[in-house]
């Protein structure tokens, strides 16, 4: 079976590439991919030769979000959080699953001490946003579209809810209320992405950026990252995300009560267009 996540050897400059590798599913995220990505991030983070980590995706899109066709639970022996009870009835089990696979993992990856760069292209949809947003920098191909269409599914947004922090409150509401994508050029103007490049030049541009960062002292890079992330925590980002996650669970419970399914099935579509 093909590796769901490809982790390349660190290069001579100290840059390691990690690639999502479910191109046939547009890199939709199931538990197997999430845990494979976690292992790759952990290996890179603990490797003394790795100074910068680049995350990208094989195929036409960076990631189409959660794999709605895969209802599997967290994998025994792989779990990183402390909730457990993934098969508990009602909201308890669903909360535990999403806290483990989505919110918990995003925070774990966001807090990796080494600089991370998301190299994105095509669609960055719903949970794909979370994979990009956990990274310190985002470099986007000029064809990239960032979108979170889950209000149409009866949900307020994805689990790691950073929309107002990344887009500003009014643009975040526009994205959520309408389902319309944010283009790469708009994302650059709003500061959500660091750079944009033509698709054919994207990997070279990211390599150049990663090499430039890798020349800096690693301890200073770690401290700079901690300083910026700590400032966001002081501004209330963590508490705000916790509140949004609780509302996300309310959305699931509401839909389960109305439709017998945790999302409104009226507009629900399978990824991979």
Report all structural domains of the chain as residue ranges with CATH numbers, in order of start.
Answer: 5-202+213-259 (3.90.226.10)
Average pLDDT in the chain: 95
- Predicted pLDDT of residue 69: 86
124-139 pLDDT tens trace: 999 999 999 999 999 9
| Arithmetic mean of pLDDT, 102-123 | 98
* Angstrom distances, CA of residue 129 to CA of 120, 148, 158, 209, 254: 10, 8, 8, 21, 24
pLDDT band at 1 (very low <50, low <70, confident <90, very high): very low
35-93 pLDDT tens trace: 999 999 999 999 999 999 999 999 999 999 999 888 789 998 999 999 889 999 999 99
The answer to whether the predicted template modeling score (pTM) of the entire model surpasses 0.85 is: yes
Q: Are 150 and 126 in contact (CB under 8 A)?
A: yes
């Amino acid at each position: 079976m093909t590796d769901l996540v490809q982790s390349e050897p660190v290069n001579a400059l100290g840059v390691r590439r990690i690639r999502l590798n479910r191109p046939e599913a547009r890199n939709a995220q199931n538990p197997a991919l999430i845990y494979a990505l976690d292992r790759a991030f952990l290996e890179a983070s603990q490797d003394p030769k790795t100074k910068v980590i680049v995350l990208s995706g094989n195929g036409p899109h960076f990631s189409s979000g959660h794999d709605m066709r895969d209802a599997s639970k967290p994998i025994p022996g792989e779990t990183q959080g402390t909730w457990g009870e993934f098969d508990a009835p009602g909201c308890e089990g669903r909360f535990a699953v999403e806290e483990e696979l989505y919110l918990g993992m995003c925070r774990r990856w966001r807090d990796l001490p080494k600089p991370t760069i998301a190299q994105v292209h095509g669609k960055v949809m719903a949970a794909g946003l979370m994979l990009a947003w956990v990274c310190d920098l985002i470099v986007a191909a000029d064809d990239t579209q960032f979108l979170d269409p889950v209000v149409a599914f009866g949900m307020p947004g994805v689990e790691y809810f950073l929309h107002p922090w990344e887009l500003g409150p009014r643009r975040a509401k526009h994205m959520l209320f309408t389902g319309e994508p944010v283009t790469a050029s708009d994302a650059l103007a709003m500061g959500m992405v660091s750079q944009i490049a033509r698709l054919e030049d994207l990997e070279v541009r990211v390599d150049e950026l990663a090499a430039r960062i890798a020349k800096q002292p690693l301890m200073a890079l770690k401290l700079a990252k901690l300083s910026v992330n700590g400032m966001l925590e002081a501004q209330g980002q963590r508490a705000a995300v916790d509140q949004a996650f609780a509302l996300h669970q309310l959305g699931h419970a509401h839909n389960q009560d109305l439709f017998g399914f945790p999302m409104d099935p009226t507009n629900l579509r399978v990824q991979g267009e």
